[in-house]
Structure formats: C-alpha cells, structure tokens
Structure 1
Amino acid sequence: MQVIRSTQELDARIEACNRAEAVSDDAMRAVFDGLRMDPPGGLPPDPFSEAYRQAQLALYRDIAGRDYETANEVTAFDIEAALRRPFPFSTGSSTTTGEQLMAIGWLIRAMALPPGSRIVEFGPGWGNATLALAKLGHRVTAVDIEPRFCELIRRRAAQEGVEIEVVNDDFLWAERCDRRFDAALFYECFHHCADHLRLLRALQDTVVPEGRVFFAGEPITQDFPMPWGLRLDGNSLWAIRRNGWLELGFRDDYFARALAECGWHGLRQACADPGWLTLWEARRHDQPVFRAGGGDTRLNTVVGRRDGDAILLEGAAGTGLFGPYITLAEGTYLARLRFRAGLPAQGRARMDVACGTGRHLLAERQVDGGMIGVAGAWLDLPFGGERDMETLEVRLFCEEGFQAAIEAVEILVR
C-alpha cells in the first residue's frame, strides 16, 4: 500500500491510473487500489458541528485544488454510446458488471416495496436501479444534478416503455418538494452530499409517515477512521483530484447517531455477495424499526404455508417462523408477531429472539393460542443487547396442533 503525502505524488499516480484506464476498468482499479492518504489530525471534537464540516471541506480543497460546489458533480459522457452500453456494461469488466447486477437485484428484494409504490431516487446516475424499479410497476421520480444523466434516463425510459419523472436538481430538492413518497432511495450517491444532516432532516417531509429511506452501497463502515469525512483511499482520491467530486465516508456508530438526531431509526443490513454492498433502512422514530409481512422472503418457515402476505400454521410441529437476519444497534427493543384477525388460534408454541445466527438467545416466552385473541391479535417479546445484534431473528417453534396465521413481524424501540 503506497501512502500519498502530497498532491504532486497524487498527480503522478493519477497519471498512472489514466494510462491503466485506457487498458481496462479492472486495470485502472488495480492501480488506485494500492493508494491511500493518512487521515488528518486535529479535527474539531464534535462531528455534528459546523467547524467539523468546514474542516472536511478544507481538506477537500487541499486535495481537489478548488472549493467544493455542487457544479463539480459533473460526469462527461456520450449519451448515444451510453444508450447502447450504459455503465456497468461499458466497463467491459465481468466483475464490475456482475457485482452491479447482483447488487441491484439484492437491493430490490431487500426493499420489499408493495406494488405501485411512489419512490423518489436521488442521484440515480446511469439509471439502472431506476429502470428496474419502474419496470416493476413502481411510480418513480429520479432527481439528479447532472443534466446528461437526466436526459439519459428519459431516453432509456422511453426505450423501455415506462414512465419516470425526471428532475434536474440537487439533493436539497427534498426541501422544496411539495409531494410525499412511500420511499426515498440513495444508491451509491448519499456520500456526495455536502450537508448530510440538513438532507436527513429534509427527508422527514419527503416520505409519508410510514415511509422508509434507503441508503444502499454507501461507504458506511465500522472501521472508518473518522466519525465522517473525506475518504482517502485511492479510488476516492482519484475521483476528488481528477473530477472534483465529493467523496465522503461515515462510521457506523456516527451514521446511526446522525439518523437518530434527525428523527430516524436506522437498521443496517449486509449483503453476502457482493460483500461491499450494505443497506441502511431508516424509519421515523414513531414507526417500527423493522416490519415485514408474512409474504416477505426475509421471513422463513419450515412447517408453515404461504398464503398471500401471511404464513399459515396449520397444526404441524416444527419451526413456524425464523428470520429476518438483520443487524440492530445496541439497545432495548420489542419483537411483535401480528396475527390475522378473525382466524381462531389454538395450541402451544415458543417464541424467542436470537442473534449470531441463533447462537445467542436474547429472550423467549411460551405462547398459547388463546393468548393471541386476548392480546388483540399480536404477541410482544421485549429483548435487548449491550452491543450490536447481528443476524438477528425472531422465531416461533410450534408444538403439534398449533394453528395461527402470521401476518407480520415488527421490531419496535422500547
């Protein structure tokens, strides 16, 4: 790993990247993957302060050689060529293309949005996720600061025969929009926002009360060396110095706290392949941290039967429910099983909450079918942890004769 200590050294390595780019995308990445700068010292202690933000913008100015403006977020490309072979296909890289396709597929499955949802996607770029969501039948609005991306998405939508509303504006369009959406999506773009706290607050008025905000493929990691700030890996240094783009990163604990400060609960999910993909899902404080209907593929059953958006348990002994394998931050929570109203429940079962792929039991309770009606068609189980709870699951183990219909699993903050 080469540590860059001056802009002169960085410029020399960027020239090597540019030469490698002429060979292939993979060759270019092999060059900048071996570069980094050390994080700065002496940052203001409060990462939520304006002084801290200005220190990061000063670091940007030192690396980019100019002040940051949203006008720097430009991408020059041939629209006609992009219509024929948009990114990632234009890279010619099987790795880049395959990982992008897998990432978008995993993202759409994890979002689990009802048909016809109203979605606003910020910074859609080439529009690959945008098109996929629109082709699913969702009503999509795409907001991008780059006019060429806007034109590309309009023309790609026309080619595919779908409708996408395209808005040429910056992230803070969220403050000016007079409509509300079921979901807002940032896919590999939130890290370009120069005032992310302002944006997080604005999103409160962008989605409906029960709506969700998704941050996918963003550089939010446990080992980021600062609470938040400029990423100083080779890829980011190349993008900042050559293109003038703002390339921020966030540490997990800071991002969770930032969401909370702006009125959101954050839930982190990790994707096994591609391993770089993470998904943060944010809901308002007065909404469940997590909710999935019985038809959601993150909820699993061995002895149950899917019936629309419910899992029917019809008397067989065994595991009636397990999942969704999410990560919760330390704290105290309530797991809630919602049952289909009007369907008599009977028999006995055991409900528990576990993490670490079932290795650590956090809470459990016995369940009697008669309790479900008394409790108003739901059952609650308090649980908590003093550290992050990874691969967390809510489980229901049925004795022979247990009958009920699970409509949803919810996790709420206590």
Structure 2
Amino acid sequence: MAEGPAVPPVPPAGFETGVPVSLDAMAEAIAAFDFERPTAEALARISTLRLVLPPALSVAGLDPLSDAYRERMLAIYAHVRFGGEGAARRYDPAVDELTGREVGNAFTELSPWSIDGSALMAEHFYAWGHVLKVLDVRRRDSVLEYGPGGGGLLLALARLGVAACGVDIDATWLGHIEAQARAMGITVRTEPNRFGRGFDGERFDRIVFYEAFHHAFDFMAVLAEVRAKLKPGGFVVFCGEPVVGHAVDFLPYPWGLRLDGDAVRCIRRHGWMELGFTRDFFVRALGTAGFDVEMIPFPGCGRADIYKATPPA
C-alpha cells in the first residue's frame, strides 16, 4: 500500500545524482508538500532531493543478509523518521503501516487516482496491463494480491471473473476496495493481515506485489511464507518495486531505506517502511528463498518492469 509512487513518475534529469540535503532541509521540503492533491510534477521535484546520512550509519562491510545489517537499517529508519530522537522506538508494521485514511469517494480520492496528472496515471495502466499479461489467468483461477492499495489491479482481476483476494495490514484501505466492489457488482475477498499471511489453508495460482513488497522489512520471511501459498505451477509477480540496476545516491547499499525525498516524506508523514533493492541483491534474495527468477522489462516505463519468481518444478 502506498499513497505516493514507489518510483518517481517521470525521472527528472539527474535523478540518480540528486541534490544532497540534510535531514532538516528535507523536513522543510516535506512540510511545503501538498499532501491533499499532489501533482506529478511536485512528486518528481521532491524526488530529486537526496538525504545525506551520518557516517556512523554506514553498512559498508556488512553481509546484507546478516542480523547486524538489519539492525543498522532499523537505526537508519529511526534516524530518518525521528531525526535522531526516539531511537528506542522500533519499527512495527502493525502500527507504522496504518493510515486509517477515510475518503469520501474511493473511486477518485485514493492513489493513484488522487494524483493530478494523466501521464502518471498512464504509467499505472502500463504496469497493470503488463501484470495482467504476465499473470495469464482465466476465470476461476485464483490471485492473491498483497498490499492492493486503492484496489485498481485487484478490481480489474475481479471484473475478469478471477477469484481475487487481497491482504493488507490496513483494514481501512481494504474497506475502500470492498466498497468499490459492491458498487461495481463484483466480488473481492479481503483480509487484514501482514504480508505472507492471510487466507490460512488456501493456495493460489498467482500472487502479486504491486508497489507493495518494498514495505516488507522482514522480506526473506515473507518470501518463504509466500512460496508456501502457491499452487503447483504457480508463481509470484513483483511490479512497480524500486529495484535499481546498481547502487545509486538514493540507495547506496544492496538493500535498505531509500533516501530520495519522495520516500523520506512517506517515512516522516506515515511511518512506512520504504525500501529499495539493487537488481543483483533482489535476484539473490529471491533465489535464496527458493525461486527461479525472470526479469521482464517494459520499454520506456520502469514502473512496469516485472520480476517473475517461480518455484522450481
């Protein structure tokens, strides 16, 4: 679930080498951001900012799958969210991934429909279309989406006659999806739960993460749980995730908190975990969890790139 995009809508010139700023300067930029009706241009502009971390928070030399690395990343989260205060406060998805956001019209006031800009909306259509093509499902096939956000993709699957299920830790957002489904005369099943869990005892033909997996701090455990929820021959699709080709200034490590202004605003305002991954590490993580991986790019739109993860036969 994400109110803002996982990656900037149209990466501006110099996106990978943005403007380095202190945490105080970043907080000022976030305070000036229009949260009620954000524009694609404002999102691209704030995304050019890069938070500079203190040297003490470096993860250099640590194994990215080690407990020490994870603890250092939690310290970076505390620094970004609390500005050096409240370091004893631990990230807790049951608290920090909630918004409880009520809206008057779920069809127009939820992301991505709430963002002002048709070019940005087009990117989501590209991505949803690419996901539907790769899923290749028929009526009565089952699809479980984790973190369905405003429900755009999940509702499209339900309209196709697919058994569409959604899991999100925020029951309020699931309620918005159910309200849309009732108005459209279609059926979706939802359950408030953490990633990797929900719909106990059921297995699915396909599982989808769209702009959602980057909220999973314990992502290796999530991958193991997700693998167990697949039917034989099933696979997992990851799309819209912030996976970059190599370490860059807003992601100067194999995986961890993204330091661009858009990610920092989500951490500061909501408390969300906003991770990013280098491609090599993401593929390594999926392989370690027991998946064969295929990367399926979408020319001209990084948001629509797909990683297809399939357990070996």
What TM-score, normalized to structure 2? 0.84
Task: Give the aligned partner of residue 265 of structure 1.
Answer: 292
Match of 1:93 among 109, 117, 125: 117
The answer as to 2:34 corresponding to 1:11 is no
Q: Deviations over 1:106-148 (max 9, x none)?
A: 2211222233211111000100000001111110110011111
Change in CA separation of 1:160 and 1:257 when aligned onto 2, cut-off 3 Å: same
Q: Deviations over 1:216-237 (max 9, x none)?
A: 1111121233111111111111
Query: What amino acid does structure 2 have at the position aligned with 1:143?
Result: V
Task: Give the aligned partner of residue 273 of structure 2.
Answer: 246
Contact 1:44 1:51 in 2 (8 A): no
More strand by share: 1
Q: Deviations over 1:257-297 (max 9, x none)?
A: 11111111111111114233211111112x3xxxxxxxxxx
Q: Secondary structure at the match of 1:185?
A: strand
Q: Deviations over 1:333-364 (max 9, x none)?
A: xxxxxxxxxxxxxxxxxxxxxxxxxxxxxxxx
Query: How many residues are paired up?
Result: 282
Task: Give the aligned partner of residue 259 of structure 2.
Answer: 232
Contact 1:171 1:199 in 2 (8 A): yes
Deviation at 1:165, TM superposition (A): 0.7
Task: Give the aligned partner of residue 47 of structure 1.
Answer: 64
Deviation at 1:85, TM superposition (A): 4.5
Query: What amino acid does structure 2 have at the position aligned with 1:195?
Result: D
Q: Deviations over 1:282-331 (max 9, x none)?
A: 1112x3xxxxxxxxxxxxxxxxxxxxxxxxxxxxxxxxxxxxxxxxxxxx
Task: Give the aligned partner of residue 12 of structure 2.
Answer: none
Task: Give the aligned partner of residue 158 of structure 2.
Answer: 134
More helix by share: 2
The answer as to 2:37 corresponding to 1:26 is no
- Across the aligned residues of Structure 1 and Structure 2, the Cα RMSD in angstroms comes to 1.9
Q: Secondary structure at the match of 1:80?
A: coil
Contact 1:44 1:52 in 2 (8 A): no
Residue segments in structure 1 that go unaligned for 5+ positions in a row: 288-414
Whole-Å separation in 1 of the counterparts to 2:271 and 2:118: 28
Query: What amino acid does structure 2 have at the position aligned with 1:53?
Result: R
Contact 1:83 1:156 in 2 (8 A): yes
Q: Secondary structure at the match of 2:70?
A: helix
Query: What amino acid does structure 1 have at the position aligned with 2:205?
Result: D
Change in CA separation of 1:77 and 1:265 when aligned onto 2, cut-off 3 Å: same
Query: What amino acid does structure 2 have at the position aligned with 1:249?
Result: G
Q: Secondary structure at the match of 2:294?
A: strand
Q: Deviations over 1:228-247 (max 9, x none)?
A: 11111111111111221100
What TM-score, normalized to structure 1? 0.64
Whole-Å separation in 2 of the counterparts to 1:84 and 1:236: 23
Match runs of 1:15-414 below 5 Å? 15-18=31-34, 21=35, 24-38=38-52, 40-65=57-82, 66-70=89-93, 71-173=95-197, 177-224=200-247, 225-285=252-312, 287=313
Identity %: 31
Q: Deviations over 1:357-387 (max 9, x none)?
A: xxxxxxxxxxxxxxxxxxxxxxxxxxxxxxx
Q: Secondary structure at the match of 1:89?
A: coil
Higher relative contact order (CA 8 A, sep 6+): 2
Residue segments in structure 2 that go unaligned for 5+ positions in a row: 1-17, 83-88
Change in CA separation of 1:23 and 1:79 when aligned onto 2, cut-off 3 Å: closer
State the structure with more CA Rg: 1
